């Protein structure tokens, strides 16, 4: 399990490096090397580390450890093929952790980032409808049952493309430099991460790497099905590049617009699920 955790964190950070590179190239900038996020994590690991005077010491440290812990648990859920309900619950719990990052430091930038993390909870709403649609098709929320269904009937990506699109937008909302990245907009410096530095910032980098790997791997498993591990990594990279393209050409939305669009997506998905429930035997 430790080997999987290390690999997932490193590969996730590499994907985030590819993400930055693709965005830069689309915007006609050279961009950093693809391993830049890995270098950042290593660099912060050896930087001076302490707790700011304005911070709540216990919470300031605990939220970093909790962030690593919940995404390590999410990785285990995905690899073991357990319930996607648990996976999505962990995804939503991360929103509480983001709020803790911002409030724990005492920095006004961090506090605004934490508050915006609550506002951006609208990005989680489509998850509920996505779960309902997946259950209507497969009759289960267990990941191994979902992949088994796809082995017989084909990928859910082709059977229920609106559901895949909704999940795609949920993953997009967690990508940095994207249209829904309101917790890290420029007026907030680094948002909820502003006052975490040294080894604590390295811990946040590990969390981001794990989160990116888990979300992309889960997307592949849920909507494409069981594929060899190397093929899953290739597909994850392709999905990430498509996300990077969207981020590169789309401006960051205001908090109000972000919530409005996510609410609209949820409404459309509700109509889709009701129609499915009506016509399916």
Report residue 231 as tokens: 């093929």
> How wide is the angle at C-alpha 222 spanned by C-alphas 216 and 225, nearest 5°?
105
Give pLDDT, residue 238: 97
Residue 241 reports pLDDT greater than 70: yes
Residue 178 reports pLDDT greater than 60: yes
Give pLDDT, residue 263: 75
For the entire predicted model, the pTM comes to 0.88
**What separation in angstroms does the CA of 236 have from each of 9, 215, 227, 230?**
14, 9, 12, 10
pLDDT tens, residue by residue, 122-175: 566 667 778 888 888 888 889 999 999 999 999 999 988 888 888 898 888 888
pLDDT tens, residue by residue, 31-44: 889 999 999 899 98
**What separation in angstroms does the CA of 237 have from each of 21, 100, 143, 243?**
13, 30, 21, 10
Residue 7 reports pLDDT greater than 90: yes
Residue 114 reports pLDDT greater than 70: no
Give pLDDT, residue 239: 96
Residue 125's contacts (CB-CB under 8 Å, 6 or more residues apart) are: 262, 263, 266
**What is the separation of C-alpha 177 from the centre of its chain, rounded to a whole number of angstroms?**
13
Q: Give dist(CA 139, CA 136) in Å, integer.
A: 6
Whole-number average pLDDT of the chain: 83
With H, G, I as helix, E, B as strand and everything else as coil, classify residue 151. Answer: helix
Give pLDDT, residue 115: 66
18-38 mean pLDDT: 92
pLDDT tens, residue by residue, 51-80: 777 767 677 788 888 889 999 999 999 999
């Amino acid at each position: 399990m430790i080997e999987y955790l290390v690999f997932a964190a490193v590969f996730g950070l590499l994907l985030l490096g590819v993400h930055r590179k693709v965005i830069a190239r689309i915007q006609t900038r050279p961009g950093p090397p693809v391993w830049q996020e890995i270098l950042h994590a290593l660099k912060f690991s050896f930087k001076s580390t302490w707790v700011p005077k304005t911070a709540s010491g216990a919470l300031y440290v605990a939220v970093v450890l909790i962030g690593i812990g919940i995404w390590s648990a999410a990785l285990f859920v995905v690899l073991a093929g357990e319930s996607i309900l648990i996976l999505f619950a962990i995804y939503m719990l991360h929103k509480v952790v983001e709020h803790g990052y911002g409030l724990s430091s005492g920095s006004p930038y961090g506090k605004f980032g934490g508050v915006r993390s609550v506002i951006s909870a609208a990005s989680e709403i489509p998850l509920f409808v996505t779960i309902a649609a997946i259950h209507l098709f497969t009759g289960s929320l267990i990941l191994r049952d979902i992949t088994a269904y796809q082995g017989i009937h084909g990928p859910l990506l082709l059977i229920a493309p609106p559901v895949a699109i909704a999940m795609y937008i949920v993953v997009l909302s967690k990508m940095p430099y994207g249209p829904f990245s309101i917790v890290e907009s420029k007026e907030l410096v680094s948002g909820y991460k502003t006052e975490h530095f040294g080894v604590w910032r390295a811990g946040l980098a590990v969390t981001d790497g794990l989160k990116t790997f888990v979300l992309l791997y889960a997307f592949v498993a849920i909507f494409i099905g069981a594929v060899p591990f190397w093929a899953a990594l290739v597909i994850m990279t392709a999905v990430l590049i498509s996300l990077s393209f969207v981020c590169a050409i789309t401006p960051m939305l205001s908090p109000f617009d972000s919530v409005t669009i996510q609410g609209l997506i949820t409404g459309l998905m509700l109509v889709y699920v009701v129609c499915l429930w009506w016509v399916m035997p």
